[in-house]
Amino acid sequence: MKKIIACIAAMLVLSLNCKSGQGAEGDKSMFSGKVTAEVDKLLAGTEVYADPQRVIPVIVNSEQGSGANAENLESYAIIKKGKLLSADQVKRLQAVIFNEKTYDFNLAKKCMFVPYVGFIFEKAGKQAHALFCFSCNEVSFGREGKAGNLEDFDAARREMLSLAREVFPGDRNLSALKEGK
């Protein structure tokens, strides 16, 4: 009888550590700090970005309007989806997007936004995204696939290009890009 009780107790402890079968990578709440008011405004709030249930990397057709009748971000058709980001990859992405030093809030570039890689953050039925353009180092943060705020990310180009190449290995367009602008 004592063995049965000990076995039940052990199973109960193990089940409390498990999050609905998500396993070790199910807990992606990496962000616990605060962001500056400028970053919070840029992201239109951090709640979805800070604690996503999953993050989906995508490649989009850089021609705006290409997603009119397809799954899209900001009217750019999603042409490829990668594997869900691992907990480490989410943490690295969050380290870039939550860091005020990533952005140059005092400069407005006059180049055409031509995104290629995006990341869709999902939490409790809500979506937020970051859509990256490597030709002018700008990122657009939006919600539910709609355009949001645009900002320069020159200081984090190397980290973002590295992550994009990691989640889309062998992509010719990403491989052709230089580390620095």
Positive or negative: CA dihedral 40, 123, 138, 108: negative
Nearest to 165 by CA among 106, 95, 117: 117
Nearest-5° angle of CA 116, CA 102, CA 90? 65
- Residues 88 and 70: their CA atoms lie apart, in Å, by 30
Which residues in the chain come in under a pLDDT of 70?
1-33, 67, 181
CB-neighbour burial class of residue 171 (10 A; exposed 0-12, middle 13-18, buried 19+):
middle
* Backbone torsions φ then ψ of 178, nearest 5 degrees: -85, 150
- Residue 44 has a pLDDT of 93
Nearest to 59 by CA among 170, 143, 144, 156: 170
Q: Span 24-176: which CATH code?
A: 3.30.1490.410
Domain ranges of the chain: 24-176
